[in-house]
Structure 1
Amino acid sequence: MVVILVVLGAAVLHATWNAMAHGAPDRVAGLALFELSAGVIGLVAVLLSGPPPAGTWGFIIASALLHLAYLGGLLASYQLGQFSQMYPLARGTSPWVVAVVSIVVLHQHLAVVELAGVLLISAGLIALVFIGRPNRRQAPAILAAIGTGLTIAAYTVVDGVAVHKMPVATYMGWVFMLQGLAVPLALLAWRGPKTFNLPRKAILSGLAGGVVSMVAYGLVLWAQTRGALAAIAALRETSIIFGALIGTLFFGERFGPRRAVAAAVVVAGIVLITTG
């Protein structure tokens, strides 16, 4: 039960920082500030924990690169579509892909009830998108969100294996340092010093978002050392429910009864995973 509560707490934090990224006046600069904040924290963790164990560099580099691809896809999704649609689709694509990989490739056991819970959560999350009746003009946004979901599945699997080979703090430190410092440096090279010429409130919000995202990520990594990868991946994506509520409350995006039903399906999936 503790693991479930931790992952659900991480889901709330994850939805929060995604909403902060979506609401930033300059989303590119906002994400760069998120990453800068996380990168500095990662650097401190690296200085305290030292080098990773031998033979684990491949996991660290792969995760950092996949996270960079994820950020690019996330930014494209938010630029092209609504937060309450793109966020659920990106996150809802991931759980069932992780479930397939963890069972077929990693040979992890998943009870029938837990598998049903994963599928229910994925179905409910993706339904949140299509209830909005997307049209052809939204195809680029939908493709970007699905691509983002695949990168989420990929780094989730990499992370799930890596945390059993090295301490969580060491892994987090190296991954966040590499990706976190790369993003603002690349953006500075592309857009120049004017990139961060933002209001003080926007800068503080961006830096705070990086801290929130890192705490959310750390909680999930801790949970992955203590539970089945597919179940934890599905539970983490309940952040979509919180994201849909945030989209309604703060961005004026309609939730409605149909999305409430889809949210209920997700809750049913959570119950199945919990009882499994």
Structure 2
Amino acid sequence: MSSLSAWIVGQEGTEAGRELALALALFAAFTHALFGALQKGRHDPWMSRAAIDLSYGIMAAPVALFLVPWPEPHMWLIFAIVWVIHVGYKLSQAAAYTAGAYTVVYPVVRGSGPIFTVIGAYLLFGEIFTPLQWLGIAVLTSGIFGLAAYNLRHVTLDRHRLPMALGLAVLTGGFVALYTTYDAYGIRATADPFTFLAWFFFIDGFFMPIYVWLTRRSRPLPPLGPLAARGIAGAVVAFASFGAILLATRLDKVGEAAVLRETSTVFAALIGWLLLGERVGPRRLALMALIAAGAVIVELGG
């Protein structure tokens, strides 16, 4: 792993590194949409998230403790702040998925994040977007919110809960911007990027299982076999998704990687159609094309 770390660090600031960051951000978009669908699927979203977190915490433990270099002393405060941010994100996300339909909640979560992330990247890393890239952000976010509005119009189940679901979705989007920016700071603060990734998953993996056990233990448990399978699958997807986007933010601009990841909304709509039985008509296809066009403009504008 040390040789892979050295290779990745060697790509920082190069054209090859920029191209790798682009590929990683798009891969993160697909896997993040898949991760959201796994959490929103047949099981209670709280139980699903707890199973996923417990799985990746256990899987990351031996890597963090025995395979990667230990974190430098200054990293422990960073990990503490990262943990608090992700706790807020996961609580708001699970609550949003409980309150509203996946195809309504997910686009709002993703659409409310990019602008705040770009602003945070400017304040923390001094990144500046060109006017053409700002146009791309406007195109992408208009497509995302247009998709959310279209989905909202056609939702017939639990419409009385939609205002609360949308409010929770916006709150979750704020946490997305916060963790994207601060996680990028964290992975840049250590010499070995895999040290941050392994310890992040190890530290992050045990809050939700404990929280769910304390707050929902009076409820009947779902079948443990399917829940465990979902947890393991979600853990693998989480490693791929969060690992890819964090490496992308180390290799290139945080803001660009964050915006490109929001093409996950396109993948989420396709997953909703193919796996969850939700309809995708010509209007939604046009809005998804708008999201993709915005991402292309952002990339070309850089």
Identify the TM-score tier after normalising by the shorter chain: over 0.9
Q: Is 1:99 matched up with 2:118?
A: yes
Match of 2:85 among 66, 83, 92: 66
Q: Is 1:7 matched up with 2:32?
A: no
Q: Number of aligned residue pairs: give it.
A: 276
Structure 1, unaligned runs of 5 or more: none
Amino acid at match of 2:181: V
Q: Is 1:242 matched up with 2:261?
A: no
Deviates more, 1:134-143 or 1:185-194: 185-194
- Does structure 2 conserve the Cα–Cα contact (< 8 Å) formed by 1:122 and 1:266? yes
Match of 1:157 among 153, 178, 181: 181
Q: Is 1:27 matched up with 2:45?
A: yes
Shift of 1:188: 2.5
Match of 2:36 among 8, 15, 18: 18
Q: Is 1:139 matched up with 2:157?
A: no
- Does structure 1 conserve the Cα–Cα contact (< 8 Å) formed by 2:256 and 2:299? no
Shift of 1:263: 1.0
| Partner SS state of residue 225, structure 1 | helix
Partners in 2 of 1:236 and 1:195 — Cα distance?
36
Amino acid at match of 1:232: A
Structure 2, unaligned runs of 5 or more: 1-18, 154-158
Partners in 1 of 2:123 and 2:69 — Cα distance?
34
Residue 243 of structure 2: aligned partner: 218
Shift of 1:112: 2.6
Give the TM-score of the pair, scaled to structure 2: 0.85
Shift of 1:53: 1.5
Partners in 2 of 1:23 and 1:116 — Cα distance?
35
Match of 1:46 among 48, 59, 64: 64
- Does structure 1 conserve the Cα–Cα contact (< 8 Å) formed by 2:104 and 2:152? no
Partners in 2 of 1:257 and 1:98 — Cα distance?
30
Q: Is 1:128 matched up with 2:147?
A: yes
Shift of 1:128: 1.0
Q: Is 1:114 matched up with 2:120?
A: no
Shift of 1:194: 7.7
Kindly, what percent of the aligned residue pairs are identical? 28
Shift of 1:255: 2.5
Residue 5 of structure 2: aligned partner: none
- Does structure 2 conserve the Cα–Cα contact (< 8 Å) formed by 1:118 and 1:231? no
- Does structure 2 conserve the Cα–Cα contact (< 8 Å) formed by 1:99 and 1:118? no
| Partner SS state of residue 251, structure 2 | coil
1:10-69 CA distance string (max 9 Å, x none): 211111121111113232211111001111123122212243122222321111221121
Residues 202 and 245 of structure 1: is their aligned pair in 2 closer, same or farther, counting only changes over 3 Å?
same
Give the TM-score of the pair, scaled to structure 1: 0.92
Partners in 1 of 2:152 and 2:229 — Cα distance?
36
Q: Is 1:200 matched up with 2:229?
A: no
Deviates more, 1:95-104 or 1:142-151: 95-104
Partners in 2 of 1:180 and 1:195 — Cα distance?
23
Measured on the aligned residues, the alpha-carbon RMSD in Å equals 2.0
| Partner SS state of residue 108, structure 1 | coil
Shift of 1:252: 2.6
Partners in 2 of 1:170 and 1:111 — Cα distance?
33
Residues 136 and 192 of structure 1: is their aligned pair in 2 closer, same or farther, counting only changes over 3 Å?
closer
Residues 71 and 116 of structure 1: is their aligned pair in 2 closer, same or farther, counting only changes over 3 Å?
same
Deviates more, 1:62-71 or 1:89-98: 62-71
Partners in 2 of 1:178 and 1:188 — Cα distance?
18
Deviates more, 1:106-115 or 1:156-165: 106-115
Q: Is 1:148 matched up with 2:172?
A: yes
Partners in 1 of 2:40 and 2:234 — Cα distance?
11
Residues 195 and 172 of structure 1: is their aligned pair in 2 closer, same or farther, counting only changes over 3 Å?
farther
| Partner SS state of residue 33, structure 1 | helix
Residue 266 of structure 1: aligned partner: 291
Partners in 2 of 1:187 and 1:138 — Cα distance?
24
